[in-house]
A and B are shown apart, each in its own frame.
Chain A
C-alpha cells in the first residue's frame, strides 16, 4: 500500500503521457485511415470515383504495411520519422510511427464498414445529381457511421496496445513504465498497477464507443 502511494505520481504522469500518445496518434492515424479507407472504397471498380490506378496503389500500400509486426515497424520507420518529425526517437517519433501504422490498419476497417452500405442508397443519391464528394460527405460516411464508431473503438484499443512499445525507441508512457520500472527492476507492484490502469482505460473506451454507436444506430 505504501509503495502504491509512492509510485502514484509517476503512474499518473505516465498514464497522462500514454493518453497523449493515444490521442495524438488517433487524431493523425484516424484522419489518415478515414481518408485512405474511403479512398479504397470510392476508387474501386463501380465506386463513385472509380480510379483503378489509385485503388491499386492504395491497396498495395495497405497490404504491404498493415501486416508488419508493430515492433519491427517502429524500428524500421526511423529514417522516415527523421524526415517528417525531425527525429527517430522519443515520444514524438513514437506518435508518428503509431499514427502511420494506425492509418493502414484503420483504412481496412473503414473500407470494410463502407462496403456494407447498400449500393442502392448510393445509386439513389447519384440519381439526384449529387457530386461524388457530396455523396461521400452526406451518404457514404453518415450511412456507415454506427459501424465506423465501433471500428474506431477497436482501433483505439489497438493504438493503446501499440503505445506500450514506445519505450523501444525511447518514448514514454505506461508500457515503458511497466517494463523499465516494473519488469526490469523486479517490482511487480509497478507492473500490475500499469496493467490495471490500462485495463480501466480500455474498458472506458469500449463502453464509450458502444454507447455512441448505439445512439447513432438508434438501438
Chain B
C-alpha cells in the first residue's frame, strides 16, 4: 500500500464574521494519510469541519497552514493553471448533486472531458461507456430534473469519473437520498473503488455509510481529527465520546439510564452484557456455559452487527439462579468474549 493523499498539519481559518472578531477555525491542525485504493471515511456532526477538509484536498479552498500531497504532487502549493490541471485528476460528488440544468445527462458527463480537451467523437464514446457503468444507459438525452435523486447522483458519479481521476471525493453524497437509494449509490461507489481502483474519500454524518463502504475512518470534532483507525476497530473499540455516539447510532449500544431502569423492571435476575468480536468467539459459548450450569437466562437487549463483513456483537442478558453458580459459569468462558455485569 502506498500513501495516496497526505495531509500534513493542515489548518483552515476563515475571516471573522464581523470585524475585529476571531477567525473561524474550520480545520485545526489535521494530519491524515490515505492509502492508494482504499475507501476512507470522514465522519462528524454538522460544523465539525469535514466538508471544509474535503475541499482542501482538491483545493477548492486554499489551506491556511500545512501541506497536502495527492500522489506525487503537493497540490496545496499550486495556483492557477497548474492547480486546475491537478483538479482534473480528482473527481467530486455532492450532496445536492450540482448538475447543470442547462445540459442533458450526456452534456453533464461530458463536461470534464471538454475541460481536459477530449475530441468530440471520443467524448461521445466515453459518455456512453460511463452511463453504462452507472446504470443509466438510455437516459443520455434526459435533463436532470427528469431524473430521481438516486439517478441524479449516478450522473454526478459518472461526471466525476469522466476524466479518469485517481481520487473521488464524496461530500455527503447520500445525505439527500432515502435509505434504499443510499444503499444503491454506496454499492456503486464500492464498485468504482473495486473495479477502477479509485481512492475514495467519503464525508458523512451517517455511520451506516461508513460501515458499508469505508475501510478506514477518521472521526472529526470541532475541526480536529479525534480518532482514526480501521472501521472495524473504531466500531468495536471507540475511544472518544463522539465516536461512541456515532457507533451507538448503528450498533445497539449498551443500555443506559432510563433504558437500563426499564430493563431491570421488566426482567428478574442479574443483567450481564456480552461483547465479542470476530476472533472465533460468539455468544454461543456464554449461552452454553450458562445452560450447563443450569441457570435460566434470556436475551433482553442488543444485537449482532456486520461491519465490513466482520462480526461484532453486543448482547445484554438477564440471568436468574444461584449467584455463585452464575459467577462460576461465567468465569470459564475464556478469551474473545467479554462479560460485564450491569450494576
Nearest CB of A to B254, in Å? 40
Q: Are A128 and B115 touching (Cβ within 8 A)?
A: yes
B101 interfacial contact with A, CB 8 Å: yes
Cβ of B60 and Cβ of A143 under 8 Å apart?
no
Minimum distance in angstroms from B236 CB to a CB of chain A: 35
What mask results when residues 297 to 321 of chain B are scored 1 for a CB within 8 Å of chain A, else 0?
0000000000000000000000000
Cβ contact within 8 Å between A128 and B98: no
Q: How far is the CB of B74 from chain A (nearest CB, A)?
A: 17
Interface of chain B, main secondary structure = mixed
State in angstroms the CA–CA spacing of A200 and B143 once bound together. Answer: 36
Closest to A131 in B: B84
Instruction: For residue A52, give the distance in angstroms from its CB to the closest CB of chain B.
Output: 12
| CA–CA, A209 and B58, complex, Å | 41
Residues B175-194 near A (CB distance < 8 A): none
In angstroms, Cα B99 to Cα A129, docked, is 16
Residues of A within 8 A of B330 (CB): none
Contact B114 A138 (CB under 8 A): yes
Q: Does B102 contact A (CB under 8 A)?
A: yes
Name A143's contact: one of B87, B100, B143 (CB within 8 Å). B100
Complexed CA–CA distance, A172 and B183 (Å): 69
**A-chain residues with CB within 8 Å of residue B84 when the two chains form the complex:** 129-131
B112 CB contact (under 8 Å) in A123, A129, A139, A218: A129
Residues of A close to B60: CB separation below 8 A: 123, 126-127
Query: Do A125 and B111 touch across chains, with their CB atoms under 8 A apart?
Result: yes
Chain B interface residue bracket vs A: 20 to 34
Is B163 interfacial (CB-CB < 8 Å)? Answer: yes
Majority SS at the chain A contact face: helix
Task: For A128, give the chain B residue with the smallest CB separation.
Answer: B112
Q: Is the CB of B98 within 8 A of A124?
A: yes
Evaluate whether A145 and B87 lie within 8 angstroms (CB atoms) in the complex, with A127-B58, A129-B116, A130-B115 already known: no
Contacts A128-B87, A143-B101; is A134 near B115 (CB within 8 Å)? yes
A142 contacts partner chain B, Cβ-Cβ < 8 Å? yes
The contact size tier of chain A is 10 to 19
C-alpha spacing A169/B156, complex, angstroms: 57
B228 at the A interface (CB under 8 A): no
CB interface residues, A 117-152, toward B, < 8 Å: 118, 120-121, 123-131, 134, 138-139, 142-143, 145
A139-B87 contact given A124-B94, A218-B143, CB 8 Å threshold: no
Mask of A89-130 contacts with B, CB within 8 angstroms, 1/0 = 000000000000000000000000000001011011111111
Closest to B88 in A: A129
Interface contact A129-B86, CB-CB below 8 Å: yes
B58 contacts across to A, CB distance below 8 A: 127
**CB-CB under 8 A for A121 and B98, given A128-B112, A128-B115, A129-B115:** yes
Interface check B202, CB cutoff 8 A: no
Closest to B81 in A: A131
Residues of chain B within 8 A of A118, CB atoms compared: 96, 98
Cβ–Cβ < 8 Å partners of A131 in chain B: 81, 84
Given A127-B60, A129-B112, A130-B115, check contact A121 B85 (CB 8 Å): no
Instruction: Evaluate contact between B143 and A139: CB separation under 8 angstroms.
Output: no
User: Complex: how many Å from CA A120 to CA B156?
Assistant: 12
Residue of A nearest to B90 (CB): A127
Q: Which residues of B contact A126 (CB under 8 A)?
A: 60, 87
Q: Which residue of A lies closest to B103 (CB)?
A: A142
A101 to chain B minimum Cβ distance, whole angstroms, is: 30
Contact call B112/A121, Cβ cutoff below 8 A: no
B225 at the binding interface (Cβ < 8 Å): no
**A142 and B112 form a contact (CB under 8 A):** no
Q: A120 near B100 (CB under 8 angstroms)?
A: no
B92 interface hit (Cβ, 8 Å): yes
B172 CB → nearest A CB, Å? 11
Contacts of B92 in A (CB 8 A): 124, 127
A123: which B residues are within 8 A, CB to CB?
A: 60, 94, 98
**A120 vs B94: C-alpha distance in the bound complex, in angstroms?**
8
Cβ contacts under 8 Å, B88 to chain A: 128-129
Count chain B CB atoms within 10 A of each CB in A120, A134, A143, A145 and give the residue with the most: A120
Give per-residue flags for A67-108: 1 if the beta carbon is below 8 A from chain B beta carbons, else 0. Answer: 000000000000000000000000000000000000000000
Interface residues of A (CB under 8 A from B): 118, 120-121, 123-131, 134, 138-139, 142-143, 145, 218
Interface, chain B (partner A; CB < 8 A):
58, 60, 81, 84-88, 90-92, 94, 96, 98-103, 111-112, 114-116, 143, 145, 156, 159, 163, 169
29 contacts between A and B (CB under 8 A): A118-B96, A118-B98, A120-B96, A121-B98, A123-B60, A124-B92, A124-B99, A124-B156, A126-B60, A127-B60, A127-B87, A127-B90, A127-B92, A127-B169, A128-B87, A128-B115, A128-B159, A129-B84, A129-B85, A129-B163, A130-B84, A130-B111, A130-B115, A131-B84, A134-B115, A142-B102, A143-B100, A218-B143, A218-B145
Sample of 17 further A-B pairs with CB below 8 A, known A121-B101, A124-B100, A143-B102: A120-B98, A121-B99, A123-B60, A124-B98, A124-B156, A126-B87, A127-B60, A127-B92, A129-B84, A129-B112, A129-B163, A130-B84, A131-B81, A142-B102, A143-B101, A145-B102, A218-B143
